[in-house]
Amino acid sequence: MTMSRAQPKYPLILERGALFCPAGGFYIDPLRVVDRAIVTHGHSDHCRPGHGKVLATAATLAIARARYGERAFGAAQALAYGERLKIGDATVMLAPAGHVLGSAQVVVEVDGVRAVVSGDYKRTADPTCQPFEAIRCDLFITEATFAIPVFRHPPVEDEIARLLASVQAFPERAHAISVYPLGKCQRLIAELGRSGWGGPIVLHSGLVKLTELYQQLGVTLPEWRAAAAGKWDAAARDSLRGAIVLAPGSALSDKWARRLPDPVMCGASGWMTVRQRAKQSGVELPLIISDHADWDAICATIRETEAEMVWITHGAEEALAHWCQTQGVQAAPLSIAGRSDAEPG
């Protein structure tokens, strides 16, 4: 189904492959460079440099500067959660999305009609970011990364317990976990701290910058250390026996991983539900730890918004649209440019 200006009922339309608010003259998470953008969070499939003016939470702007430089945007304005801002004839508010630090839903109201763009979100507790808040609306635009009934994520505590049981069973091996540098890395460090893990947590150099930024922005994390730079000697290698090592997936598929002492390769993602996918990735210990809502959470969220219309993007769009229709809710898939299931979940 193609969204266009022929649907004036709601504050948002699809224009040139991105969500656009005609009344406010701004786009939401555009992948091409635009004059005015609202950005939901710092992941690169939502936040791109080069926009003229950007509105986001202060944490998202700090993350963007860390990733893209101080001149990532022509101008940037921070908006706190719950603060309302008039842009043209539209009123905008940001609400917590629970995805990563600074992530936000975008609430847009025009002439008494409210639309909510979820961005990426999850409903489970995360010590590194504010929890999701359901907002009642007329139009709800939801991601659908894991919007198939097979995706029902177990409690994160259970997955951390599986990891620690493996560490205890193989104390002579390092446990190397593939993580995304923004969000998943810092959440795992925090969850290990909550579990009572007192052993070494070691980060690949590619994870250090954003982890330090999280701490500068007030996120409390247990002690960790960066992996040694340069060539490792036997002592450096042996110091990682029994350690939990976090690294980008690219590093674990490269010669860097050969330095680790007989590593147990781990994956931490909602995609680890699909065992064949884990096997193809060379994962020995799949951990189902996701920063996206699962099937039950997505369905519950749609009910809580009480939206009369749901637009679905970024995942299993057709499946969720069918479920909505069985619940008496109008729904349509919304094809936004540049979205795929290739990103970490």
Give the DSSP letter string of 67-95.
HH-TTSSSEEEE--BT-EEEETTEEEEEE
Read off the CATH number of the domain in which 255 is found. Answer: 3.40.50
Mean pLDDT of 314-337: 90
Contact (CB, 8 A) for 29 and 40: yes
Tell me if 47 is assigned to some domain.
Answer: yes
Amino acid at site 296: D
Q: What is the pLDDT of residue 254?
A: 86
Burial track 27-62 (b if 16+ CB lie within 10 A, e otherwise): bbbbbeebebbbbbbbbebbbbeebebbbbbebbbb
pLDDT in tens, 198-246: 999 999 999 999 999 999 999 999 999 999 888 888 998 999 999 999 9
* pLDDT band per the 50, 70, 90 thresholds, residue 277: confident
User: In the β-sheet with 309-315, what is the strand arrangement from edge to edge?
Assistant: 84-87, 90-96, 104-110, 113-117, 139-144, 309-315, 330-333
Q: Are residues 44 and 82 in the same domain?
A: yes
Q: Are residues 126 and 207 in the same domain?
A: no
Contact (CB, 8 A) for 122 and 105: no
Q: Are residues 245 and 302 in the same domain?
A: no
Tell me if 98 is assigned to some domain.
Answer: yes
Measured between alpha carbons, how far is residue 335 from residues 7, 15, 134, 178, 317 in Å?
Answer: 16, 11, 23, 29, 9
Read off the CATH number of the domain in which 49 is found. Answer: 3.60.15.10
Tell me if 7 is assigned to some domain.
Answer: no
How confident is the prediction for the chain on average, in pLDDT? 94
Q: Domain count of the chain?
A: 2
Q: Are residues 160 and 283 in the same domain?
A: yes
Q: With both helix axes pointing from N to C terminus, report the angle between 208-216 and 58-68 in degrees, rounded to the nearest 10.
A: 150
Q: Are residues 196 and 126 in the same domain?
A: no
Q: Are residues 143 and 166 in the same domain?
A: no
With a CB cutoff of 8 Å and minimum separation 6, the contacts of 19 are 12, 13, 27, 28, 29, 30, 117, 141, 336
Mean pLDDT of 281-298: 96
Mean pLDDT of 65-85: 96
Q: What is the pLDDT of residue 344?
A: 64
**In sequence order, what are the beta bridge partners of 106?**
94, 117
Tell me if 306 is assigned to some domain.
Answer: yes
Cα–Cα dist 222/10, whole Å: 45
Question: Which range of residues forms the domain containing residue 221?
Answer: 156-287
Q: Cα dihedral sign for 279, 280, 285, 289?
A: negative
Q: With both helix axes pointing from N to C terminus, report the angle between 295-305 and 317-326 in degrees, rounded to the nearest 10.
A: 50
Q: Are residues 309 and 281 in the same domain?
A: no
Q: Are residues 314 and 247 in the same domain?
A: no
Q: What is the pTM of this model?
A: 0.93
Cα–Cα dist 192/199, whole Å: 9
Q: Are residues 160 and 114 in the same domain?
A: no
Tell me if 340 is assigned to some domain.
Answer: no
Tell me if 132 is assigned to some domain.
Answer: yes
Tell me if 193 is assigned to some domain.
Answer: yes
Q: Which of 13-22, 174-183, 333-342 has the lowest mean pLDDT?
A: 333-342
Q: Are residues 181 and 221 in the same domain?
A: yes
Q: Are residues 187 and 268 in the same domain?
A: yes
Q: Are residues 64 and 140 in the same domain?
A: yes
Q: Is 13 exposed, middle or buried (0-12, 13-18, 19+ CB in 10 A)?
A: middle
